[in-house]
Copies of this chain bind each other. A is one copy, B any other.
């Protein structure tokens, strides 16, 4: 059913009907109610594509999905989707080439100028992120999930990675650990740098020298967690504690520790960052995993919220949200062994 036909059945003009449904003030309350009721009864719904054309709005938020299939991505998106339920806004997923950054910048450029989305979300930014510069230049609305030092105003939502890892590391030092390894995220990303900083600051505060041989930067997979942990544990003296970037990494570390005949929580302490997954929980690991925790799903939901505000006219420079991260101690952390030299 089209607007024209629907309006005719109501004995009104298309104009009035359109306004009634969009909630404009210059329509009497009585008429509005009648229109709303009849719309439901007769099943009239505006053609979305006509609306998009005339308003210039796409009714969608763009998300670029890395080819490496990050597992936390689904949680984030699910949180977004949940929040967007009821709003008339969709989520649009674009694949990324994921090779060099040029490709990705081109992708964002296409996405922004394609008219398919009203805003995009930038994930895992770098301190100096070309995507952010580009989007700003295009004057296209976007929210950064993470942070960047790019010197243009932009909206962002991030968790306190630095503080979380500083506290985690400090705690390990308090427990007597001196050789603390860190398996961090991909090099160059701001969140990795923040975690690096938290780690190094904690060491420095207590006068423990930083040893680059105890630090790795890479994707979050159990295999890489295992490999790095294995190789670190071969050092002499070996590390007595690990700080890890993800649950998957932690799984790898647990395996590596076991494979050396050592025991997590006694010989080697582990703290990992937990994005809170319904299918893999830190509490259930054996031994239960001490973690810095922040819900990816909640971040997704809040991101959707903030994008909505951005589209509603709120200034990007006003939208900065830094979430604290919990540190939850469980069995995987314990006092440093006194016989750390095997």
Contact = CB atoms under 8 A, between A and B. Distances in A.
Interface string A226-245: 10000000000000000000
A226 B255 CA distance: 18
A278 B226 contact: no
A279 B49 contact: no
A285 interface: yes
A336 B84 CA distance: 51
Given A278-B221, A286-B258, A95 B81 contact: yes
A58 interface: yes
Contact of A251 (B49, B94, B278, B280): B280
Interface stretch (A85-93, A132-140, A150-158, A317-325): A85-93
A91 to B, nearest CB: 4
Contacts of A45: 113-114
Main secondary structure of the interface of A (DSSP, over half): mixed
B67 A82 contact: yes
Size band of the interface chain A makes with B: 35 or more
Interface stretch (A14-22, A25-33, A71-79): A71-79
For this chain, the copies found in one complex come to 2
A81 B113 CA distance: 19
Contacts of A42: none
A286 B255 contact: yes
9 contacts: A49-B49, A49-B58, A65-B77, A69-B75, A69-B78, A74-B77, A221-B281, A222-B284, A251-B251
Given A90-B93, A222-B280, 8 more contacts: A49-B58, A65-B77, A84-B95, A90-B94, A92-B92, A223-B281, A226-B284, A258-B286
